[in-house]
Amino acid sequence: MASSGLASVDQIERQLTFALVGGGTVGVEMAGALAEMSRMALAHDFRHIDPASARICLYESGNRILPTYPERLSKEARRHLESLGVRVYPNARVTTVDSEGIVVGGQRVPAATVLWGAGVVASPAGRWLNAPTDKSGKIIVEPDFSVPGHPDVFAIGDTAHMIASTRNLVGIKSRTPMVMPGLAQPAIQEGKYVANVIRLRALGRPAPAPFWYWDKGDLAIVGRTYAGRICGSRVLRGSRHGSSGRAYIFISSSDSQIGCLSCSNGDLPSLPNVARYAYFLWNGVPHRTLSSGQHDNGTPVGRKNG
């Protein structure tokens, strides 16, 4: 289109506009990847268009992106996306998606590419079975994931509404049960649990203990140089600055401790040093800065300070 010389500026701009709907993990990761591709990987591959001029717009109906993450991580993720050239629009509800683009807040936004990351409706299984459902259509299941009134029918994953206890990465049980998110991690564990329920029934044995979810954490990768992760009450965030040859890992816990692991010689820290340092921060030991295998006072890693 651009090479023909017949396209208007508005037509080219529309072709170079990417509208991403939903500021969760999917939308944020996709926006970061598109921004890096257009401004780095594809920057010199075209003669008639400038990939770096692509408009990458991320729309979130809530007041911030990554709404299930702590606000601190959300703000940092937004700053990183904006540094890549992504335009972030919170409190922006998309009401229409068609061949011309989207309508958000009553305003038409021309876009040739629209990527939906705002979730999907629940399976209609609840209506098929005339079972009780929550407001999103998920079946409110029994403790063993069976459908009320249908003890031989089970629902798991994003078809089921289940409230269960959780345990973090090291097995510590949470104080408050939570609604299981419709993600792969819970669905896999739920499937194994239901398989065991069916097996024990077939053998005539007692039912297993109530289901609990082993929460291994959530990870959002915002481009190649920044990531944030939640592990229970712990929050980890990190970035790598390749231009300077230095690697930084920032770790903050629920009590807001922050640490830094860096290498000034351009080499990444050894895995044992990274693991040891993460363990210090995880267990509330006062923060240290390691560079080339040393503590901030010069003590080699593995020895106690002082």
Q: Which residues pair with 218 in a beta bridge?
A: 230
Contact of 220 with 229, CB cutoff 8 Å: yes
Catalytic residue among 29, 60, 76, 190: 29
Q: Is 142 a known active-site residue?
A: no
Residues making up the chain, counted from first to last: 306
Q: Which residues pair with 139 in a beta bridge?
A: 133, 160
Residue linked to tokens 């508005």: 10
In degrees and rounded to multiples of 5, residue 154 shows phi and psi of -120, 150
Of 259, 298, 254, nearest to 279 by C-alpha is 259
Of 39, 72, 59, nearest to 230 by C-alpha is 72
Q: Which residues are catalytic?
A: 29
